[in-house]
Chains A and B, each alone.
Chain A
Amino acid sequence: MPVFTGEVRRQLDELLTRYPTKMAALLPALWIVQRERGWVSDGGMTEVAELLELTPAYVKGVVTFYTMYHQHPVGKYFIQVCTTSPCGICGAEDVVKALLRHTNAGDLGLTSPDGRFTVIEVECLGACGFATPVMINEEFIESVTPEKVPDLLATLA
């Protein structure tokens, strides 16, 4: 099943008007694939390559450069915890431990057995004054402490 049909295709066509080259729409097109499918598969990359007149190998080279494109399926809730120095000195490691414990994800990068949670460490989320920031999918949560983790997870369906 192709991703770019109907309304989604129209979104890509609108994006293409913003740039002088088709290739410039590559990052936005990959974002659309991830939004629609939850991750960017080889098939998704090939489809984008055809639409933008690139080779699948080129697209894969770009996908693998960036950290935010998922190259395999992840949990329903993808949780990113900032542990870079400013958050590190404010206790980010303990937030990671609490998240791993309460989600049952096991280890960083793994998905919990119920398929709900994947937890990863991320480099600087750019919200250092609100240590520790955590991103759950598209949502950005500031000032998370280990004590707040159970309530935070309880809000997720």
Chain B
Amino acid sequence: MGYPNLPHQRETTVLSQYFGDAEARTLAGWKKRGGYKALEKALGMAPADIVNVVKESGLRGRGGAGFPTGMKWSFMKPGDGKPHYLCCNADESEPGTFKDRELMRWTPHALVEGCAIGAYAIGAETAYVYIRGEFTEPLHWMEEAVKEAYAAGIIGKNAMGSGKRIDVHVHKGAGAYICGEETALMNSLEGRRGNPRIKPPFPAVSGVFGMPTTINNVETLIAAAPILLNGADWYKKMSLSNPKSTGTKLFSVCGNVQRPGTYEVVMGFPFKEFLYDLCGGPAHGRKFKAVIPGGASVPIQTVEEAEATLMDYEGFVAQGSMLGSGGVIVIDDAQSMVSVIARIARFFAHESCAQCTQCREGTAWTTKIMERIRDGQGTTEDLDTLLDIADQMTGKTICVLSDSCAVPVVSGIKKFRGEFEALIQGRRFHPVVAAVA
């Protein structure tokens, strides 16, 4: 709901309506707001029926990949005699993304409830919430919420008197972007280095501790509760564009924009109105130049592409990018695209787990070349070299961190080649407009 700004009338606040409302953090406050009714309902349903409702709703993973949640849950075969696990991916580290942070620090009980529903639906007795170590405040509130929920018998040996055991444990990461990759997260949870694993086997077959596992993003799990309460049709109807993208989505907006914050809109909302109306447009005297709409790993959009986008999974693809995690980075005409991309490359070089050669070498060389272009030391061959390295880094590694580093470089060179060439030819970058306070 635009947090920390005032809510905007064009938002549809399902998940974010209690942002900024400290009372909603407590069990009493959460119950007063209708909390745990969805879990109570879920525990009275057959797990397969819950999976079907979620399938029918069209909910897709909110962490970045957009995989249909109900289908993912249906991969967990009941009655296989093995312990099942639910992992909640709260390792939110994709530059530009901070929606899960708000969800956890304002509505921690919503996540406890979502985890309990998800665990019950996939036949798991244990859910682990893996939160990145830097999120001290969300960690604090999540630990408090879990403690309260145990004390009230909402989770534990006999969850809400259902006879079902549902444990929820908060697990603190220790600083590694790669642990947001699902198989790296499982390794980290097991007490290993956070190296991604080769797939297959997929987590539903052999996940954490070698057992069938489902991994869902924070926002995805929290969305399950209102879907169960209000029905799949209610959720499906929230779509302004096409039936493949349903419900509301949180977008965290940052960078060179008047009102950065976390906004919730219905899928298919026009991006142009989102950027100028909800987020307040660029600073006075400036213009938007580019937008990275789904976290640093997705292709950069020109402002023209962004303004033509409908905000859903397909809409961002149609305009040369991806919805990703919903982390919108807005870049104005005072910024050098080469500097921005060089800094993104440095991020990926820092975060590479160094397991695959293409990624370990590729992210480092990409950074080196990008920074020498930025510093006016580039050569005309450098652009071809960058594109060649990017090609070697794409689709050739265990996980997609390598691809993610190549993406902004390739889209940047394609869409802002002039800025690269100007620096190579010895012209320094000058902002189009002088900075306005």
Q: Which residues of A contact B (CB under 8 A)?
A: 18-21, 23-28, 30-31, 52, 54, 61-62, 65-69, 80, 83-86, 88-90, 122-131, 135, 138-140
Contact indicator A126/B191 (Cβ below 8 Å): no
Q: Are B261 and A85 in contact (CB under 8 A)?
A: no
Question: How near does chain A come to B70, taking the closest CB pair, in angstroms?
Answer: 28
| Pair B343/A88 contact, Cβ less than 8 Å | yes
Across the interface, do B169 and A18 meet the contact criterion of CB distance under 8 Å?
yes
Interface size of B by CB at 8 A reads 55
A86-B96, A123-B347 given; A129·B262 CB < 8 A: yes
B-chain residues with CB within 8 Å of residue A20 when the two chains form the complex: 83, 209
Q: B96 to A128, Cβ gap below 8 A? A: yes
A90 and B347 alpha carbons, distance in the complex (Å)? 16
CA distance A31 to B351 in the complex (A): 21
Q: Are A30 and B174 in contact (CB under 8 A)?
A: yes
Bound-state CA distance A83–B343 (Å) is 9
B432 to chain A, nearest CB (A): 15
- Top-3 shortest CB links A-B: A26-B191, A67-B175, A68-B175
A67 to B194, CA, bound (A): 12
B137, CB-defined interface residue at 8 Å: yes
B134 & A86 in contact (Cβ 8 Å cutoff): no
Q: Which residues of B contact A85 (CB under 8 A)?
A: 95-96, 296, 329, 340, 343-344, 347
The contact of A128 among B95, B174, B189, by CB within 8 Å, is: B95
B136 to A61, Cβ gap below 8 A? no
Q: Answer whether residue B62 sits at the interface, using C-beta atoms and an 8 A cutoff.
A: no
- For the complex, what is the distance from the CA of A18 to the CA of B155, rounded to whole Å? 14
B69 — which chain A residues lie within 8 A by C-beta? none
A130 CA to B256 CA, complexed, in Å: 12
* Chain B nearest CB, measured from A56 CB (Å): 14
Report the Cα distance A126→B169, complex, angstroms. Answer: 22
Whether, in the assembled complex, B350 has its beta carbon less than 8 Å from a beta carbon of chain A, the answer is: yes
Partner of A123, one of B133, B327, B339, B351: B351
B96-139 toward A: CB 8 Å interface, digit per residue (1/0)? 11101100000000000000000000000000000011111100
Given A31-B172, A85-B347, CB of A128 within 8 Å of CB of B255: yes
